[in-house]
């Protein structure tokens, strides 16, 4: 597993934990930062995970609006918590991180959905991120 894949998993854990615990993302991030201090061998994945989470927080209003716009018939509240977190990471990588190719961002999100969510989630994530990628200015 690549360092970036591990970082995405850590970012997903942070976003998901905040959602499930109904705490703020910065609170969840702070808990993970405390843990990261005791794990210096995971520093590379921690740095990118933090970049993802910070990017999602900084752009959450726009990201959530895109999810609502392109998720035809689904509100954020109706989606599984894990799907919301996966989509937020995928959209952030597509729109705000030029270092990650769009196809990689989508593939990573779809793979996370396959492993961590419902049987229908991978197709949902793929379709939604694909639509957003098509309309993205850099796509």
At residue 139, the pLDDT reads 46
Q: What is the pLDDT of residues 9-28, one digit of tens each?
A: 999 999 999 988 888 888 88
Residue of 34, 72, 66 whose CA lies nearest to 50: 34
Higher per-residue confidence, 36 vs 113:
113
Distance CA 62, CA 118 (A): 25
Q: What is the pLDDT of residues 106-138, one digit of tens each?
A: 999 999 999 999 999 999 999 999 999 998 775
Q: Element (H or E) spanning 60, and its range?
A: helix 60-70
Residues 58, 59, 64, 69, Cα dihedral to 10°: 170
Based on DSSP, count helices (H) and strands (E) in the chain, helices before strands. Answer: 7, 0
Q: Element (H or E) spanning 132, and its range?
A: helix 121-135
Q: What is the pLDDT of residues 56-101, one digit of tens each?
A: 999 999 999 999 999 988 888 899 999 999 999 999 999 999 999 9
Q: Is 37 helix (H, G, I), strand (E, B) or coil?
A: helix
At residue 61, the pLDDT reads 96
Least confidently predicted of 32-36, 46-50, 51-55, 119-123? 32-36
At residue 138, the pLDDT reads 53
Domains recognised in the chain with CATH numbers: 3-135 (1.10.940.10)
């Amino acid at each position: 597993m690549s360092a970036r894949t591990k970082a995405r998993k850590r970012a997903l854990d942070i976003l998901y934990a905040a959602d499930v615990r109904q705490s703020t993302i910065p609170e969840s991030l702070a808990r993970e930062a405390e843990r990261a201090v005791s794990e210096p061998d995971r520093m590379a994945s921690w740095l990118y995970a933090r970049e993802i989470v910070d990017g999602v927080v900084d752009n959450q209003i726009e990201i959530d609006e895109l999810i609502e716009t392109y998720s035809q018939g689904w509100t954020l509240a109706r989606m599984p918590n894990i799907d919301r977190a996966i989509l937020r990471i995928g959209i952030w990588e597509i729109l705000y991180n030029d270092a990650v190719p769009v196809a990689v961002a989508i593939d990573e999100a779809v793979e996370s959905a396959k492993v961590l969510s419902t049987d229908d989630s991978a197709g949902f994530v793929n379709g939604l991120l694909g639509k957003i990628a098509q309309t993205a200015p850099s796509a």
